[in-house]
Structure 1
Amino acid sequence: MQSVYAADPAQARGRLVAEEESAFRSCFQRDRDRIIHSSAFRRLKHKTQVFVEHEGDYFRTRLTHSIEVAQVARTISGALGLNAELTEAVALAHDLGHTPFGHTGEDALNALMAPYGGFDHNAQALRIVTSLERHYAAFDGLNLTWETLEGIAKHNGPVTPLRGDGPVTDGTETGDLPWALAEYATRHDLELHTHAGAEAQVAALADDIAYNNHDLHDGLRAGLFDEGDVRALPIVGEAYAEVDRLWPALDPYRRRHEALRRVFGVMVADVINTSRAILAETAPENAAAVRHLGRPVIRFSPALWADLKQIRSFLFTRMYRAPTVMRMREQVTRVVEELFPFYMAEPGHLPARWQNEVAAAHDETALARLVSDYISGMTDRYALQAHASLLGGPGGAGERRD
């Protein structure tokens, strides 16, 4: 049974371009399905988080991560009486704007785009679903509902530009917002200065849960640290101790899985129990009231959050800044840093479908944003292939990008 503060599809705030509603699916189900069928979602299969795509087929990709986030989000959403379809739509879309090579690629592209408004993957996800996906006759993008677009734009909290005297919290300015977000805000008010609805907040916490768990798993698999290292961590050590008590002779792979799924369970239970208490205390009377409480309603407990900060600190040192990972970061940073100026100087090498937009680019900033759209949409392997064919880099096999 849905709560009074759940998003109600019958009360949804509609789409930018009006459409006839489906007889079989709610508006949020249609949003979810359009995201799944989008080209950007399919490309997540060959975009990575920490490891580069060709390093092994076991490690998580952005696609498998998004599916895991959606599963966790549905569980939490159901337990809290929220709208599971809206939660799932935001969860599945939350990484659509990521560049090739994970946060390394984003850091490189953001630095290159600094003179032109920067690059932000959340803003790029919104740009993808409102403009860059071009499959429908009546509109660019996916024409998603207001609630799903809001969730994509601000699932991590209000997006408030800065002014000389501090953040602008009344929605009257776009200021120094990421350019893709500021551009869209001029034609569609997503109330960026408020918190998102509860469903989008769930998607954000589900993202934290999923990557904390699978980064431990992938790091162990890659040999960047071992069970002795992670057993010293809060939550993880207790999970291993319980498994060893229940199954003293369990083989190492089952032992690891059993321990880490318990870590998963601890995080999910903590979010559900903490959020139930916050929702009971604040008693929002509807979905809109959640947005105006001035604080999130979906949270980890302070104690668990402190434990997670220790885990994240460990992962930062032992995984994200491991020597082998750093060497690969240097290589893929160079790929992005060399592709960007090449396409800026030689935009004729962009695919034929992009050439009308190249011709319409009225200044360097417009061209840079077009090049940024193209590079950010590349998969890991296509970026390596393009770099090899155009600039003589090490290369790799990849699909054609149009």
Structure 2
Amino acid sequence: MSVPDSPGSPLRAVYAVPPTSPGGRRVAEPPAPTRSDFQRDRDRIVHCTAFRRLVYKTQVFLNHEGDLFRTRLTHSLEVAQLGRSISRSLGLNEDLVEAISLAHDLGHTPFGHAGQDALNDCMAEYGGFEHNLQSLRVVDALEQRYPGWDGLNLCLETREGILKRCPLPLAQQIEAREPSGVARRFLDGTQPSLEAQLCNLADEIAYNAHDIDDGVRSGLLSLAALREVRLFARFDEEVQRDHPGLAGKAPRRLLAEVIRRMLSAQVYDVIASASASLATAAPASCDEVRRHPALIRFTTDMRHASAELKRFLFRELYRHPQVMDTTERGRRIIAELFAAYLDDPRQLPEEHREPETTEGISPRRVADYIAGMTDRFATREHQRLTGRQVFLER
């Protein structure tokens, strides 16, 4: 059974999260006169400082390496586009999917996963660092925009979609502060909403596709090597059959068409697989969804093909010597910034310092400040503090 949210809107299935958040906000607010709860969440995310910073944060290639490579911002937009397309076909809450997609990387450090790993090493004695947890911290506490509360005061369903992973000890701490809240599902073994499940998969589909595109554009991946990967080879053969001579005349168009067909195939696979799972499980509400195993997933064949592609990208792109060289430099910048601020908190902007204590500045406050930096700012700040220039801007 499906119902429209309003005249002219797409049909929403009974298992979708309704326009009015069942979980609500941590601080109660009157409803907006013209927007649903999740439209309001999306708007708050788009207008926040952390979202704007994503344009200068690394996806795979550092910001200074070229103007056309993906950033965390363009990645988030691509996830939102894929997520909305799939959610409409399944009758899910598109606005919730978009809000989660746009917010899921707000806590990412400069220099991509290398920056996260470096900051996690720095924070090993202080509770560690993980970007999903940091994204939640951004929307719950670090954004300073409203007079009545810290953070963006987003709905529970948006926040739980942002928090994809959470270690048990930390989930217990969050649950103690917020009973039956955002971390509860990690303690009772239930699932998040279908919209959150969908965003996880849309994230994977997006980065596999655009990392192929950026890898070839950079010269680090070749079409010949990609043709050894089953998923790519299938659509490469199709395109060359449908457009003879395209590989020789316009290889960029060939690659774009292969990626387009790969994306379409994965989207249709998720829709077909999820439709079958939902028909079998027949959840009668968004709350009942939580008691089922994950229902938004690839078919077995597509899951294996996607895993093969991820292994290829890890081996041939993410571990390429050129990428490793730049990410190692990024790791060094993060580690040295962390040490410098802990050693001399006066180097931090005044609003990021804590009142004087016998223990000194909180390492978590330092991690918050560094995680919020863009690649460019972190590089310049490191040069200011050390006198060394790690990257030469082009």
Partners in 1 of 2:276 and 2:390 — Cα distance?
52
Shift in alpha-carbon separation, 1:276–1:316, aligned structure 2, 3 A: same
Shift in alpha-carbon separation, 1:239–1:185, aligned structure 2, 3 A: farther
Q: Residue 396 of structure 1: CA displacement?
A: 6.5
Q: Would you say the 8 A contact 1:14–1:146 is kept in 2?
A: yes
Shift in alpha-carbon separation, 1:244–1:139, aligned structure 2, 3 A: same
Q: For 1:2-401, list aligned pairs within 5 A.
A: 2-10=12-20, 12-154=22-164, 159=166, 161=168, 175-177=169-171, 182-183=173-174, 186-187=177-178, 189-190=181-182, 191-193=184-186, 194-250=190-246, 251-293=250-292, 295-355=293-353, 358-359=354-355, 363=359, 367-394=362-389
Partners in 1 of 2:348 and 2:149 — Cα distance?
23
Partners in 2 of 1:317 and 1:384 — Cα distance?
27
Q: Residue 99 of structure 1: CA displacement?
A: 0.3
> Which residue identity lines up with residue 390 of structure 1 in the other structure?
L
Q: Residue 363 of structure 1: CA displacement?
A: 3.6
Q: Would you say the 8 A contact 1:386–1:395 is kept in 2?
A: no
> Which residue identity lines up with residue 347 of structure 1 in the other structure?
P
Shift in alpha-carbon separation, 1:77–1:360, aligned structure 2, 3 A: farther
Instruction: Give per-residue Cα distances to partners, 1:155-185, cap 9 Å, x unaligned.
Output: x6xx451xxxxxxxxxxxxx255xxx94475
Aligned to 1:164: none
> Which residue identity lines up with residue 81 of structure 1 in the other structure?
G
Partners in 1 of 2:242 and 2:109 — Cα distance?
43
Partners in 1 of 2:257 and 2:358 — Cα distance?
57
Partners in 1 of 2:176 and 2:277 — Cα distance?
30
Shift in alpha-carbon separation, 1:282–1:70, aligned structure 2, 3 A: same
Q: Would you say the 8 A contact 2:21–2:38 is kept in 1?
A: no
Partners in 2 of 1:383 and 1:377 — Cα distance?
9
Partners in 2 of 1:361 and 1:89 — Cα distance?
38
Q: Would you say the 8 A contact 1:385–1:397 is kept in 2?
A: no
State which drifts further: 101-110 or 366-375. 366-375
Shift in alpha-carbon separation, 1:103–1:225, aligned structure 2, 3 A: same
Q: Would you say the 8 A contact 2:107–2:135 is kept in 1?
A: yes
SS at match of 1:2: strand
Q: Residue 353 of structure 1: CA displacement?
A: 1.7
Instruction: Give per-residue Cα distances to partners, 1:78-110, cap 9 Å, x unaligned.
Output: 010000000110011000110000000000000
Instruction: Give per-residue Cα distances to partners, 1:23-57, cap 9 Å, x unaligned.
Output: 10001000000000010000000001111111111
Q: Residue 308 of structure 1: CA displacement?
A: 1.1
SS at match of 1:192: helix
TM-score (norm 1): 0.90
Instruction: Give per-residue Cα distances to partners, 1:276-295, cap 9 Å, x unaligned.
Output: 111111111100111111x1
State which drifts further: 3-12 or 281-290. 3-12
- Structure 2 unaligned regions, length at least 5: 1-10
Q: Would you say the 8 A contact 2:56–2:374 is kept in 1?
A: yes
Partners in 2 of 1:361 and 1:192 — Cα distance?
36
| Percent identical residues | 46
Partners in 2 of 1:354 and 1:109 — Cα distance?
17
Partners in 2 of 1:35 and 1:140 — Cα distance?
14
Q: How many aligned positions are there?
A: 375
Aligned to 2:8: none
> Which residue identity lines up with residue 307 of structure 1 in the other structure?
A
Shift in alpha-carbon separation, 1:199–1:362, aligned structure 2, 3 A: farther
Q: Would you say the 8 A contact 1:6–1:83 is kept in 2?
A: yes
